[in-house]
Copies of this chain bind each other. A is one copy, B any other.
Amino acid sequence: MKNREVVIIGTGLTKFGERWNQSLRDLIAEAGVKAVEESRIKGKEVDALYVGCMASGRLICQEHIGALVADQVGLNPIPSTRVEAACASGGAALRTGYLAVASGEHDTVVVGGGEKMADISTGRVNFALGGAGDQETEIFNGATFAGIYALMARKHMQEYGTTEEQLAEIAVKNHENGAKNPHAQLRRKISIEEVMKSPPVSDPLKLFDCSPITDGAAAVVLTTKEKAKGKKYIEIAASEQASDTLSLSNRRSITKLEATEIASRNLYRKTGISPSQLDFVEVHDCFTIAEIMAMEDLGLYEKGKAAEAVENGETRLSGKIPVNPSGGLKSKGHPVGATGVAQAVEAYKQLTGEAGKRQIENAELGLAHNVGGSGATAIVTLFKKQEASR
């Protein structure tokens, strides 16, 4: 039923980290310009912009991010629209841009995402991020996202015997990958001992179980397969999105994200792909426990079996199914509005063979998984290598 096939012809990523000298508009523009350059198109070929951004209102007193970005990159008067789905804002912008091209409305769109988080105190950032949860039942009562994911971790431990050491394995593996990613925020290897000795944030989660606070932006250029002829590209083979209750208290289970299960099952059904065919996945590891749940919810492992697979090295770059080759949110960093778009950038790099020291051999199919809040939004996107015949 889809009108046209949609592909990615170029990508841009800023260095993730504490970018004291750049504003949000600088960062998104930097990523967008890089993406346009890599695509070898001219600015005037861009028909529209979609921008993922979660909390710019509270973080930098600025809404209207679509117009802000169009203005900064000098692409007025093309339409430019912000999409928000908490920490899945980037994935939601990607999906919206994808539908805009698939619909026939636009031929070429740039999807960007960004967040400027380091300028205000950690406490205020935490409170702003709380906007992803249920203000009335959770955040108003003092819950933080570390606290919410700590509840999930504790329950996962109780139900499946998951250990703190196994959570630490996630952080170690992601730092190992991130150390190979020049755009990553925390580019150093760490040990299980370092994670275990890091200060508690919300028991059982420690500092090194948490993704950092990050400034950064990402962008991709989407166009039709027809327009991409002669260019290097990857296909967006499918995009699915699902929702769940905003508050953890209304869920049947807190050891899985049902929205992830539903979105990925829909994607597998519609494409005929099974999880075992995937060559890598980029998952939403805002906390280490989130990566364990994602592996299970995406159907890569049975419920309760993911942690062991991590211990066995199955999800390392050289393993059976590499998870977060980019370093993930944990090591690469998590500028919330950028994250879903940055996952697509990694998919492009892996599937075009440009991932450098973290390249996965013969990668042909990759999946990105972007989560809003504690799972009230989940977006999964399937990326496919350009066919050799082209």
A interface list, Cβ under 8 A from B: 1-3, 23, 48, 54-58, 60-68, 70-71, 75-86, 92, 95-96, 99-100, 102-105, 127-128, 130-136, 139-140, 240-247, 250, 258-259, 262-263, 372-373, 376-377
A373 and B83 form a contact (CB under 8 A): no
* Extra contacts besides A67-B85, A81-B85 (5): CB < 8 Å: A58-B58, A68-B376, A77-B259, A79-B242, A99-B99
Known: A80-B377, A245-B76. A85 touches B58 (CB 8 A): no
A82 and B83 form a contact (CB under 8 A): yes
A104 and B2 form a contact (CB under 8 A): yes
B377 and A132 form a contact (CB under 8 A): no
Picked from B23, B103, B240, the residue with its CB within 8 Å of the CB of A3 is B103
Number of copies: 2
* Alpha-carbon gap, A76 to B242, bound state (A): 7
Beta-carbon nearest neighbor of A377 in chain B: B67
Q: Which residues of B contact A63 (CB under 8 A)?
A: 54-55, 84, 86, 131-132
* Alpha-carbon gap, A62 to B247, bound state (A): 12
Q: Which residues of B contact A2 (CB under 8 A)?
A: 103-105
Q: Which residues of B contact A68 (CB under 8 A)?
A: 134, 246, 376
Q: Which residues of B contact A243 (CB under 8 A)?
A: 66-67, 70-71, 75-80
A88 to chain B, nearest CB (A): 9
Closest 9 CB pairs of A and B: A103-B103, A63-B131, A79-B241, A67-B376, A64-B86, A1-B104, A57-B57, A77-B242, A70-B243
Picked from B57, B67, B86, the residue with its CB within 8 Å of the CB of A244 is B67
User: Is chain A's interface secondary structure helix, strand, loop, or mixed overall?
Assistant: mixed
* Alpha-carbon gap, A82 to B104, bound state (A): 22
* Alpha-carbon gap, A3 to B224, bound state (A): 14
Picked from B83, B103, B245, B372, the residue with its CB within 8 Å of the CB of A83 is B83
Picked from B80, B84, B263, the residue with its CB within 8 Å of the CB of A82 is B84
A61 and B131 form a contact (CB under 8 A): yes
Q: Which residues of B contact A140 (CB under 8 A)?
A: 61
Beta-carbon nearest neighbor of A66 in chain B: B85
Q: Which residues of B contact A55 (CB under 8 A)?
A: 57, 63
B242 and A67 form a contact (CB under 8 A): no
Q: Which residues of B contact A373 (CB under 8 A)?
A: 64, 67
Task: Please name 28 pairs of A and B residues whose Cβ atoms are closer than 8 Å in the assembled complex, sorted by A.
Answer: A23-B136, A54-B63, A55-B57, A55-B63, A57-B57, A57-B131, A61-B130, A61-B131, A61-B135, A64-B84, A64-B246, A66-B84, A66-B377, A67-B372, A70-B376, A71-B245, A71-B247, A71-B376, A75-B243, A76-B245, A77-B243, A77-B263, A79-B243, A80-B377, A81-B95, A82-B84, A82-B85, A84-B84
